[in-house]
Structure 1
């Protein structure tokens, strides 16, 4: 069993696990690389879990011991190459004073999040999500709270190449009216990072109940929008600051855009060209007087 299979098993059973095992499973789902890098006791201490609970989790996953459980994660990490140059650079930043330490912490978190997101990305899932967007009658994009700006960015870009993209914004604190017309022919792209907004979860569940395909961009296999998702894209959001990092969210959204373009036909390119030409004709872009 490789590490992806282990994560899939833990994710699938997450809602049914007793509280202590659920806490341990969430730690593994959120930080699989740390399983590989740290001993059982250090990993358990890092997440406030009893070591015996980690042993129970390993047995639940089908392994005789925690070492056997850990081995697939170690093998996956070994395939990632070394990071000595990056580590040296980050140490140099940290040595340059208080602000240097802040920059170093942010750089390390951002690079690690993007790297982990791409390393763990399943190409087949990205391709199916892109195909769902290409085949949709209508695309709804939802991001609530701090994710609203990223949702607007994704809607703005995809509107250039897809015929009907709508940025859904909750009216009167509810998304029900925004999604009143959603059907099985439509796709919902929804963003959610812990702490998860109640309205976000409700929106994903509503779309799924209407048999719409749901592309969920979220930070954990244990996320409440993972279950209603048709296509699940995981993006780490660890940060030394008070608010979760959005760097990997942007990277994944841009990757999804690139996948749509790469799997689209000539009509998609023609649409992008037409939109760009119309903007030029309407004087949308600033041009130097010398150009």
Structure 2
């Protein structure tokens, strides 16, 4: 049977809007706790005691762990003034992502998960992956993808920046993107060459930068150099509090929460695929010709092995 909540249980809505930080959420939950219904108390107790799980887990898994229904978690979020559970959980994710990323601590958490059940790690990483990608496909993101694709198609040259944990993102964008758009260049910054590599880029150009907590000093430096030269940045990061955001023409904040010991790049890679697909879909016919020409060259050089 579905639990019944009093009519006024969800009526509390601070006129100043929902709390924007985790400390305030915890304070408001603690203050409201004595007046909550039994089901909302279960939900609130779990939220107060498991902030990391709320950030990482799907609503279904959190509800199961708290021994309530998903709708109860939604009601708890709305009681605090949030429009949705996703908005509520973003406060927890921002708090987790804004804290220093301690890889050893995450690795230890994986061992703890494994001690619960044999398949817990597998299921939790899978839940986080599906949820991160699901959060990417919104109407707001779609509009920004279209705007970013127009900017990319209109740029004379495109620099791509991402170091350490996000180098894989930058490399993937540059490698795949150059197949259709030869004006894309991966910035490596090796042996002190960051300034030299970025010097040719100016006001008619773009820089696409990737960076998650902990933010890489070289990426911030590259953006400073690019902006000083009038290059417009498109930034892919994890929160609007990121040091990569100031001065960006377009910012994408992608979810990277995961029980894995390293921040997930799955959403960023998916965003890259969407951006490049939009460019080819809405760009000139020459982009398709470039892809066909690349494939022909690779086959002629024996780059592909036939399975016949």
TM-score, with structure 2 as normaliser: 0.64
SS state at 1:152 partner: helix
SS at match of 1:102: helix
Alpha-carbon distance between aligned partners in 2 of 1:180 and 1:269, rounded to the nearest angstrom: 30
The C-alpha deviation readout for 1:65-91, integer Å capped at 9, x for no partner, is x968734335989xxxxxxxxxxxxxx
* Cα separation, 2, equivalents of 1:149 and 1:197: 14
Distance of 1:193 and 1:206 partners within structure 2: 19
Contact 1:187–1:212, Cα closer than 8 Å, also in 2: yes
What value does the CA root-mean-square deviation take over the aligned residues? 3.4
User: Of 81, 99, 102, which residue of structure 2 is paired with 1:70?
Assistant: 81
Deviations along 1:47-67, one digit per CA (max 9) or x if unpaired, are: 8xxxxxxxxxxxxxxxxxx96
Aligned equivalents of 2:192, 2:45: Cα separation in 1: 44
User: Which secondary structure state, in structure 2, belongs to the residue aligned with residue 196 of structure 1?
Assistant: coil
Matching residue within 129, 138, 147 for 1:128? 147
- C-alpha distance in structure 2 between counterparts of 1:211 and 1:69, whole Å: 43
Contact 1:171/1:177 (8 A) holds in 2: no
* Residue aligned with 2:175, SS: helix
Q: Which residue in the other structure is 2:200 paired with?
A: 181
Q: Aligned residues, how many?
A: 227
CA separation in 2, counterparts of 1:104 and 1:246?
Answer: 18
Does the 8 Å contact 1:132/1:213 carry over to 2? no
Aligned to 1:144: 163
Q: 1:157 to 1:24 in 2, by over 3 A?
A: farther
Structure 2 counterparts to residues 247-258 of structure 1, below 5 A: 247-258=266-277
Q: Counterparts of 2:253 and 2:261 in 1: how far apart (Å)?
A: 21
Match of 1:88 in 2: none
* C-alpha separation in 1, matches of 2:115 and 2:45: 34
Q: Hey, what's the Cα distance between the residues in 2 that align with 1:112 and 1:195?
A: 22
Q: Which residue of 1 aligns with 2:292?
A: 273
Deviations 1:79-112 (A, max 9, x none): xxxxxxxxxxxxxxx9997441110111111111
Which of 36, 46, 50 is residue 51 of structure 2 equivalent to? 46
SS at match of 1:250: helix
Stretches of structure 1 that go unaligned for 5 or more consecutive residues are 1-9, 11-19, 28-36, 48-65, 78-93
Q: Secondary structure at the match of 1:159?
A: helix
CA distance in 1, matches of 2:198, 2:256: 28
2:175 to 134, 156, 159: 156
2:279 aligned to 260, 266, 270, which one?
260
Change (3 A) 1:182 1:24: farther
Q: Is the 8 A contact 1:121 1:234 kept in 2?
A: no
TM-superposed deviation, 1:172: 2.9
SS at match of 1:177: helix
Q: Given the superposition, is the C-alpha separation of residues 219 and 121 from structure 1 closer, same or farther in structure 2, using an over 3 Å criterion? A: farther
Instruction: Quote how far apart the aligned CAs of 1:275 are.
Output: 1.4
| Structure exhibiting the larger radius of gyration computed from Cα positions | 2
Secondary structure at the aligned position of 2:167 is classed as helix
SS at structure 2 position matched to 1:195: coil
Q: Which residue of 2 aligns with 1:220?
A: 239
Q: Residues 133 and 267 of structure 2 are in contact (CA less than 8 Å); yes or no, is this contact kept in structure 1? A: yes
Within-5 A mapping of 1:98-117: 98-117=117-136
* CA drift at 1:267: 1.5
- Is residue 282 of structure 1 aligned with residue 301 of structure 2? yes
